[in-house]
Structure 1
Amino acid sequence: MKCIVFDIGETLVRDDRYWALWADWLGVPRHTVSALVGAVVAQGRDNADALRLLRPGIDIGAEYAAREAAGRGEYLDETDLYDDVRPALAALRELGVRVVIAGNQTTKAAALLRALDLPADLVATSGEWGCAKPGKEFFTRVTETAAGAQPWETVYVGDHPANDTLPAAAFGFRTAHMRRGPWGHLWADDLAVAAAADWVIGSLHDLVDIARQENKL
């Protein structure tokens, strides 16, 4: 195991603030947005469909730009990180594992993550790459970040079966399904996920133990 690549939302970063800011912008209760996100997740739909249910015909890109222009746009700080992120990523690097963060996020999210100075060798997002999961091009770009590690020497960690576990496994990566957030919990016991995932984990600290075992450290 030479490289571990991490999804972002609900793997490293809580999505609470993300959806709360959308609720405030659209003028609806935060609970309403959360409930709708849960509903579309359970139906296997795109999470952005929660916003489309609230505002049929919404141009999400245009609304995102309007939020940014109004000073009410995307924001991340230390409180958005799960508690195990810094210690687990730091421990992996101490074991000699290359740590990469790469997920479906905006260009601004990449800048916000870099500003947090996480213990990672590289941070990249779909907004910067111009391609997104579950597309093959995204995972091809992931291999380019692995500094020579082959797909079978690389682990992709994520919470979403359709965006993370299944396409990463199909590409040839080893995979860890994160039992975290609505997607991670809902689909952790799914048979397809169980078949595709090398591991189902509840904490990033589990990866430290796995890396020690795999690399016989």
Structure 2
Amino acid sequence: MTRWIVFDVGGVLVDEARVWRGWAELVGLSEQAFRAALGAGIRAGKGIGGTVRELAPGLDIRAHRQRLAELEIPREEDLYPDVRQALAELRAAGFAIGIAGNQPEGVAEALTALDLGANFVATSAQWGISKPEAGFFARVTEAAQAPSERIVYVGDRLDNDVAPARAAGMRPLFLPRGPWGEAHDETPHVAERVESLLDIRAALG
């Protein structure tokens, strides 16, 4: 039976630096200062929303929603450098590839257009359910048409990716990059990890 590797999007396949630059401009900080504040906010459990409200209490986020949403649509230059090589190697090794993450409308279509060779591409906007809900991971198994124990889920968050994927019976792999990956990498780990997508093949044996 085919083994599946399903990838999260932001922080895993897509470097969301353009998104963070957009937020930094809105709150009047340099990208570096905003990233530092966001990391602190993540570690404090505030996430992006709580961090922005603290940095700019009077900011009407809704007024900028369209611009921010446009920044989340991935382009070729937003892909991490290891993405195309890693996915090609995994396909050549016989793995089926899925992409599924919490993303707004338009992202699935953009990822499909980038032609990463995935067997399926899906987002929370399409499914109407988000991680870490168990129903999201149930949809992953449905899309793969495979039992959960045949699925490896690669993510950058312990809360949204590793814990719920494991609870769903999948094998989670933690990739510590992006704001959440970097912040969560500072916590004691109970997760199997890889430092690059190029390390996945060896990690799976």
Q: Same fold (TM over 0.5)?
A: yes
Q: Which residue of 1 aligns with 2:95?
A: 97
Q: Does 1:169 align with 2:166?
A: yes
The 8 Å contact of residues 159 and 184 in structure 1, kept in 2 or not, is answered as: yes
Shift of 1:24: 2.7
Aligned equivalents of 1:62 and 1:138: distance in 2? Answer: 29
The 8 Å contact of residues 33 and 51 in structure 1, kept in 2 or not, is answered as: no
The 3 A distance-change label for structure 1 pair 37 and 143 is: same
Q: Does 1:205 align with 2:202?
A: no
- Tell me the number of residue pairs that the alignment of Structure 1 and Structure 2 aligns: 204
The 3 A distance-change label for structure 1 pair 61 and 103 is: farther
Cα RMSD (Å):
2.2
The 8 Å contact of residues 64 and 73 in structure 1, kept in 2 or not, is answered as: no
Q: Which residue of 1 aligns with 2:36?
A: 35
Aligned equivalents of 1:4 and 1:52: distance in 2? Answer: 36
Aligned equivalents of 1:25 and 1:45: distance in 2? Answer: 18
The 3-state SS of whatever aligns with 1:200 is coil
Shift of 1:137: 1.1
The 3-state SS of whatever aligns with 1:101 is strand
Shift of 1:184: 2.0
Shift of 1:68: 6.7
Q: Does 1:183 align with 2:180?
A: yes
Q: Which residue of 1 aligns with 2:4?
A: 3
The 3 A distance-change label for structure 1 pair 45 and 26 is: closer
Q: Which whole-Å deviations, capped at 9, do the CAs of 1:136-174 have from their partners, x for residues lacking one? A: 111111111112x21111111101111000111111111
Aligned equivalents of 1:143 and 1:161: distance in 2? Answer: 20
Shift of 1:64: 1.0
Instruction: State TM-score, norm by structure 2.
Output: 0.89
Give the letter for the 1:131 counterpart.
Answer: I
Gaps of 5+ in 1: none
Aligned equivalents of 2:46 and 2:165: distance in 1? Answer: 19
Shift of 1:107: 1.4
Shift of 1:58: 5.0
Give the alignment of 1:137-152 within 5 angstroms. Answer: 137-147=135-145, 149-152=146-149
Shift of 1:22: 2.4
Shift of 1:98: 1.0
The 8 Å contact of residues 165 and 177 in structure 1, kept in 2 or not, is answered as: yes
The 3-state SS of whatever aligns with 2:15 is coil
Aligned equivalents of 1:145 and 1:50: distance in 2? Answer: 34
Q: Which residue of 2 aligns with 1:64?
A: 65
Aligned equivalents of 1:145 and 1:115: distance in 2? Answer: 19
Q: Which residue of 2 aligns with 1:116?
A: 114
Aligned equivalents of 1:57 and 1:123: distance in 2? Answer: 37
The 8 Å contact of residues 33 and 50 in structure 1, kept in 2 or not, is answered as: no
Give the letter for the 2:164 counterpart.
Answer: P
Give the letter for the 2:165 counterpart.
Answer: A
Query: Which stretch has the larger CA shift, 108-117 or 200-209?
Result: 108-117
The 3-state SS of whatever aligns with 2:193 is strand
Q: Which residue of 2 aligns with 1:82?
A: 80
Between the aligned residues of both structures, percent identity stands at 43
